[in-house]
Amino acid sequence: MSSEGSAGKAAVEAKGLNPGLIVLLVVGGLLVTFLIANYVLYMYAQKNLPPKKKKPLSKKKLKREKLKQGVPVPGE
């Protein structure tokens, strides 16, 4: 008899809010929280972390780039 009472109680509670809606709200809330946290961390990183260093170009690549642009390479 106690199982019927709890099942009836759950049915009464479910009438107030659709369980699918509750799941949707929880998942949506978690997603929004995740996105906001990512944005906050991104802004923090932009302000506080040093800029990424560029890889040094090899002399060969530098020479090739200058030839493409039509700039005379010194020493030739």
Render each residue's pLDDT in the chain as its tens digit; 76 residues: 444 555 555 555 546 779 999 999 999 999 999 999 999 999 999 888 877 777 777 888 888 887 888 766 566 5
Distance CA 60, CA 30 (A): 51
Signed CA dihedral, 68, 70, 74, 75: sign only: positive
Nearest to 47 by CA among 35, 55, 39: 39
